[in-house]
Amino acid sequence: MLLAVFSDIHGNRQAFEACLRVARARAAERFILLGDFVGYGADPEWVVDTAMDLVAHGAIAVRGNHDEAVNTTAENMNNEAQIAIEWTRRRLDAAQRRFLAELPMLVEDGDRLFVHAEASNPKRWHYVRSTTDAAKSLIATPSHVTFCGHIHRPALYSMSVTAKMTSFVPKTDVPVQLLRGRQWLAVLGSVGQPRDGDPSASFVLFDTLSCQITYCRVPYDIASAANKIRENGLPLWLADRLSQGR
């Protein structure tokens, strides 16, 4: 089965729509959403409604730290993120907020694990920045492939049976076979706010039969997404950074 995995959509309708279109065109059969549906972007209602609809049709979704902050507090976040969360909270209705509140922290599906942040302690919302972080995550789970997001920069780590690590920055559109003999951690780039220097939206296709993973990039209407952020009085940097991809 071909999975399409999306992470860190962050209320960016234009980016998410573009990614969904490409994923459907590439015949993705099941959608996985790795959290952070809201925060930063100016279309949280549309994004949450779309996620709810996808979940109703069989998609897997897990919770991100921004989704959690909508229903709790954003005081641990930086200033811009806090402003965006306060604004988002006012925009969402009760059903949308409940959807976010009830999202699971992680979902195991066969020998795959889906989680927003580093998996050894998902509630701590740790980033996977290095092979050391990746090793911590991989040792904590028996899964063959763990998918996570949170850091907004694509990376692919593996751990051999003798606990030797490899790290790799995946090339766009080059499928990589995730060999059975080792464990893999696929860190996704962000749909709605890429930070790896490439402003195009990022998502992943994974073929469960051949175990091939493909990192995809999708150009989208950045100007509209940025304008909507400005029109709604959100911090300007949240609009400007989209075209810079950082």
Partner 1 sequence: MPKSLIKSGAVIDGYTIGECVHAGGMATLWTVTHPGIEMPLLMKVPRASEGEDPAAIVSFEMEMMILPRLAGPHVPHCYGTGDFARQAYAVIERIPGTTLYKRLPDLPLPYEEARLLVAKIAAALADLHRQNVIHHDIKPSSVMFRESGDAVLIDYGLSHHDHLPDLLQEEFRLPYGTAPYMAPERLLGVRDDPRSDLFSLGVLLYFFTTGERPFGEGETLRAMRRRLWRDPHPPRSLRADYPPWLQEVVLRCLEIEPVWRYPTATQLAFDLAHPNQVKLTARSERLKRDPLSVAWRRRFNQDVKQPRAKPDVAEQIASSPILAVALDTVEGTAELNEALRVTTERILATLPSARLACVNVLKLNRIAIDKTLDEQGSNKHIDRLVALRHWATPLRLDESRLSVHVLEAVDPAAALLEFAEANQVDHLIVGARQSSFRRTLLGSVSAKVAAEATCTVTVVRPPRMAAAKPGAGVVWG
Two structure tokens written together for 41: 């972007």
By CB under 8 A, tell whether 168 contacts partner 1: yes
C-alpha distance from residue 86 to each of 39, 69, 107, 197 (Å): 9, 9, 28, 28
Contact pick of 182, 217, 228, 241 for partner 1 (by CB under 8 A): 182
Contact pick of 121, 130, 177, 224 for partner 1 (by CB under 8 A): 177
Minimum CB–partner distance for residue 134 and partner 1 (Å) = 12
Q: Which is nearer to partner 1, 94 or 174 (CB)?
A: 174
Minimum CB–partner distance for residue 201 and partner 1 (Å) = 21
By CB under 8 A, tell whether 210 contacts partner 1: no
Q: Which is nearer to partner 1, 101 or 179 (CB)?
A: 179
Two structure tokens written together for 74: 């954003």
Nearest to 179 by CA among 135, 139, 148, 210: 210
x-marked contacts with partner 1 along 146-165 as a string, rule CB under 8 A:
----------x-x-xxx-xx
Minimum CB–partner distance for residue 202 and partner 1 (Å) = 17
Minimum CB–partner distance for residue 128 and partner 1 (Å) = 15
Q: Which is nearer to partner 1, 69 or 186 (CB)?
A: 186
* 106-135 positions binding partner 1, by CB under 8 A: 131
Query: In whole angstroms, what separates CA 88 from the centre of its chain?
Result: 18
Q: Which is nearer to partner 1, 71 or 172 (CB)?
A: 172
What's the DSSP call for residue 171? P
Minimum CB–partner distance for residue 184 and partner 1 (Å) = 9
Contacts of 85 (CB under 8 A, 6+ apart): 38, 39, 66, 69, 70, 74, 77
By CB under 8 A, tell whether 186 contacts partner 1: no
d(CA 131, CA 137): 10
Residue 104's Cβ-count burial label (10 Å; 0-12, 13-18, 19+) is middle
- Please count the residues of the chain: 246
Contact pick of 176, 195, 207, 246 for partner 1 (by CB under 8 A): 176
Of 35-43, 75-83, 169-177, 228-236: span binding partner 1 (CB under 8 A): 169-177
Contacts of 162 (CB under 8 A, 6+ apart): none
User: What angle is formed at CA 203 by the lines to CA 197 and CA 209, rounded to 5 degrees?
Assistant: 140
Residues that bind partner 1 (CB under 8 A): 131, 156, 158, 160-162, 164-168, 171, 174, 176-177, 179-182
